[in-house]
Copies of this chain bind each other. A is one copy, B any other.
Amino acid sequence: MASDSAGQPAANGGDGHKPVTAADIAAQIGGRLIGDGQTILHSVAPLDRAGASDLSFLAHARYGGWFATSKAGAVIMGPAFEALAGTPETRIIVDKPMDAMVSVLARFHRSEPRVVGVHASAVVSPSATLGVGVTIDAGAVIGDQVVIGDGCWIGANAVVSTGSVLGRDVRLHALSTVYPYTELGDRVVLHSGARVGREGFGFVPQANGPVRIPHSGRCVLEQDVEIGANSCVDRGSVDDTIIGAGTKIDNLVQVAHNVRVGRMCFFAAQVGVAGSTRIEDGVQLGGQVGLSGHLTIGARATVAAQAGVFGDIPAGELWSGYPARPHKEQLRSQAALNRLAKIIRPIEQLLKGESST
């Protein structure tokens, strides 16, 4: 359980343990091998913690210092670093170390075992429809009229409620919730604790207190959408809530009712999007960004972490800060404020002098 067990390969680098040679790795990724191709590698680890049987990576100059003293058995690296001074003698040179890393990691990755079929402890409504090759894990609950496409995998104790429709190869992790009448496209992933399709937070004030607005709009996650752990996507009131194909959402994110998100967007953790805001394709939102309601965020715009957005953002722009505005303006204001702090007193004295003369 210790965090500093460098040199003990089994404890060091994830769940690998499938020994492979450096030459094998070089062949797999089409890399040029320098050093001993017979080096045996059991797992992957970062440069500063890798041991003699770990494969590591060098993709950015900022980690050159770690490379200098790394004990890694072999290192995948870009051509620019080929001759860099450092302990590791076995080096595999590739043009795109990040792409190579993805395929190599897949090799060392120990996937979760899966048993096709319905676990005896799961509860599946007789009116639900299950496709071919579906897995329903222990304790999962599948409601009336639910449709589950071929190849779906519903995790332990997850709940899919009445009338929801899942495409093919959808993956619901343990303890996630699909509220009634929600639609999930092919290959959608819900992480543990994700809640999709709850009625949004809408009330109308009346004499006896607030009355809930019935939510008849849908909650639609198009194909290849991924929703992080404990994130929430509410269904619409009149309009639908839609997350466009390929959009990836991290943990603890809130997407309110009637929001429409385009394709291939990325939302970092703890982002909040208020009701009826439209986010066009390819938008990237940093961690803890908040968007207020009824806004339009143009295609491929980027919003820096923790920004608070209260107005529309044109396509392609980078905004930041509170209240958010174009990042360059934000930086200029911050710089001016910093310079102001040093001269505020002389300014005040100068004005006092002016007014007294």
Contacts and interface: CB of A to CB of B under 8 A. Distances in A.
A119 B216 CA distance: 28
A274 B167 contact: no
Contacts of A344: 335-336, 339-340
Given A1-B167, A112-B161, A274-B305, 11 more contacts: A1-B220, A14-B218, A16-B216, A123-B138, A139-B139, A139-B157, A201-B251, A210-B246, A210-B266, A254-B270, A270-B272
A195 B272 contact: no
Nearest to A50: B238
A334 interface: yes
Contact of A156 (B159, B237, B308, B323): B159
A222 interface: yes
A190 to B, nearest CB: 11
> Closest 4 interchain pairs by CB?
A14-B216, A306-B308, A105-B214, A109-B214
Interface string A234-260: 111111101010101011101010101
A337 B343 contact: no
A204 B98 contact: yes
B334 A323 contact: yes
Contacts of A258: 46
A45 B229 contact: no
B323 A239 contact: no
A92 to B, nearest CB: 15
18 contacts: A14-B217, A44-B216, A102-B214, A105-B215, A105-B216, A109-B216, A155-B159, A156-B159, A174-B177, A177-B193, A193-B193, A203-B266, A229-B232, A252-B254, A269-B274, A333-B337, A337-B340, A340-B340
Contacts of A138: 123, 141
Interface of A: 1-3, 13-16, 43-46, 49, 56-57, 62, 98-99, 101-102, 105-106, 108-110, 112-113, 119, 121, 123, 137-139, 141, 143-144, 155-157, 159, 161-163, 167, 173-175, 177, 179-181, 183, 185-186, 191-193, 195, 198, 201, 203-204, 206, 209-211, 213-218, 220, 222-224, 228-230, 232, 234-240, 242, 244, 246, 248, 250-252, 254, 256, 258, 260, 264, 266, 268-270, 272, 274, 286-288, 290, 292, 294, 305-306, 308, 310, 321-323, 329, 332-341, 343-344, 346-348, 350-351, 354-355
A163 B15 contact: yes
Greatest chain B CB density within 10 A among A14, A167, A222, A248 is at A14
Contacts of A272: 252, 269-270, 287-288
A110 B179 CA distance: 13
Q: How many copies does the complex hold?
A: 3
A130 to B, nearest CB: 16
A113 B161 CA distance: 10
A292 B307 CA distance: 13
A193 B195 contact: yes
B175 A177 contact: yes
Contacts of A123: 119, 121, 138-139, 156
A53 to B, nearest CB: 14
Given A214-B109, A218-B15, A229-B195, A351 B348 contact: no
Contact of A229 (B198, B322, B335, B341): B198
A248 B139 contact: no
